[in-house]
Chains A and B, each alone.
Chain A
Amino acid sequence: MAHAGRPATTGAAVADAAVADRGLVACPDCDLLQRLPLVPLRQTARCARCRAPLWRHKPDSLERTLALALAAAILLLIANVVPMLGLSVAGREAFTTVVGGVVAMWREGTQVVAMLVLFAAVIAPALQIACLLLVVLAVRRPPAPHWVATLLHGYEFVREWSMIEIMLLGVLVALIKIAELATVIPGLALFVLGSLVFLLAAMAATFDPRLAWERIEWAAGSDQGGVARGLR
């Protein structure tokens, strides 16, 4: 069952403070001002107007995210050092890793595409995991120093550009294209990447950014909402 936010009335929202009542949320998709309802475990509060998910009550978010991020870090490391695909034709064998694909595109003259692939398939997933790992470690003892906010911003930015699942599908299509010409040998990294897709999805789904933000020191140097200070 979905729990709808309660639309805020004018009186509740208006205060003189720089920061409005901290129980209020403005829907990111429609700007409706509302109060987060009490949400039972594993249920989602949705916007009363546009149904955008506002917050999900996740059990042991920080501990579980830490475990999943550690596992993902190890798998990403393995996936990038062991061969991913090999092929044998007329007695010759060739193997490639993820980075091998980037190097080939670079050498063949499409450096822009090589960099994009490197970013989407290696750098963004690595940053995604590293940022989240540091964030969940740092917020264990609140208040976390403000540099954690930079990491959390970085995590949110990089998430959209981390495309392991799309790369894996691309590798499978490439594999079928090549299978007509040569014998294809799937490498260990292919299976590691397959598991990584699920781990990354679980990691992102387990993490509760609202909880993390509440444990990070304020940029304005005040942890008591309502104190208007010079910002920046």
Chain B
Amino acid sequence: MRTAGFVSARSLGLAGCEACGLVVRLPAAGGVDHCPRCGERLHSRRPASIERSWALAITALVLYVPANLLPVMTTNTPLGAVSDTIMQGVVELWSPTSWPLAIVVFVASVTIPLGKLIALAYLLLTVQRGSVRSNGQRVRLYRLLKFIGRWSMLDVFVDTFVVALIQLRPLMWVEPGAGVIFFAGVVVVTMLAVNSFDPRLIWDLPQQERHGDG
């Protein structure tokens, strides 16, 4: 990885505004400043990025348990009621014709949220350890997380429209389960966790950090 000859805005006391991109000089004394063009707060690095990211990631992991154990929907017929969790929904969708959709739902509901948390934990740990290796791959991983995270919302939409359509009381009707609330929480909280992470931290050298402290 080439690092020689590269100058970061921070090392010169400058910061690119996260909203409008203007490069602004930060006040030497520190403290809060606002972008003179767009008025947003200026940060050399997002404040408490690592702590917030960890807190949100752990919250998401906690929510992930009930999201998968509790039913997301209950189908009622005169013969009785059947409840489905996310995983049971995937299994039911598995058929000779619709198995590709079953895979899509599985990836969006199980693989993406879990993978996202593991990948985010990896990014946070390497930044905390001051790693300088494979910076390029790590920033690409971050961009991937930002891009795919939204797709976890898929199952929330599936449940919503199944519930909306199957309202044929007393013949057959579907009710949403508590699982869908927790699952929606997982999606929102993991998106916020990735948004709290500041990718510029990947590139900061450990020495610079120590300089800042002293």
Please give the distance in Å from B13's CB to the nearest CB on chain A: 8
How far is it, in angstroms, between the C-alpha of A28 and the C-alpha of B142 when the chains are bound? 12
Q: Which residues of B from 134 to 180 have beta carbons under 8 Å from A?
A: 135-136, 139, 142-143, 150-151, 153-168, 171-172, 175-176, 180
Give the interface residue-count category, chain A: 35 or more
B23–A163 touching, CB < 8 Å: no
B23–A24 touching, CB < 8 Å: yes
Asked whether any CB of chain B lies closer than 8 Å to the CB of A192, the reply is no
A166–B154 touching, CB < 8 Å: yes
How far is it, in angstroms, between the C-alpha of A154 and the C-alpha of B50 when the chains are bound? 25
Residues of A within 8 A of B34 (CB): 219, 231-232
Q: Nearest residue in B to A223 (C-beta to C-beta)?
A: B37
Asked whether any CB of chain A lies closer than 8 Å to the CB of B61, the reply is no
Residues of A within 8 A of B101 (CB): 172-173, 176
A174–B38 touching, CB < 8 Å: no
Majority DSSP secondary structure for residues of A touching B: mixed
Asked whether any CB of chain B lies closer than 8 Å to the CB of A229, the reply is yes
Asked whether any CB of chain B lies closer than 8 Å to the CB of A73, the reply is no
Give the interface residue-count category, chain B: 35 or more
Produce 1/0 per residue, B190-203, CB < 8 A to A: 01000100011011
Out of A19, A105, A169, name the residue touching B160 (CB < 8 Å): A105
Q: Nearest residue in B to A109 (C-beta to C-beta)?
A: B176
Asked whether any CB of chain B lies closer than 8 Å to the CB of A92, the reply is yes
Most buried by B among A9, A94, A112, A174: A174
How far is it, in angstroms, between the C-alpha of A174 and the C-alpha of B161 when the chains are bound? 6
Q: Nearest residue in B to A95 (C-beta to C-beta)?
A: B165
Please give the distance in Å from A180's CB to the nearest CB on chain B: 8
B39–A170 touching, CB < 8 Å: no
A19–B25 touching, CB < 8 Å: yes
Residues of B within 8 A of A96 (CB): 161, 164-165
How far is it, in angstroms, between the C-alpha of A96 and the C-alpha of B167 when the chains are bound? 11
A112–B184 touching, CB < 8 Å: yes
Which residues of B are at the interface with A, using a C-beta cutoff of 8 A?
Answer: 2, 5-10, 12, 14-16, 18-25, 33-40, 89, 92-93, 98, 101, 104-105, 135-136, 139, 142-143, 150-151, 153-168, 171-172, 175-176, 180-181, 184, 188, 191, 195, 199-200, 202-204
8 inter-chain pairs at a CB distance below 8 angstroms, sorted by A residue, are A13-B14, A50-B135, A90-B171, A100-B164, A105-B160, A166-B151, A176-B93, A210-B21
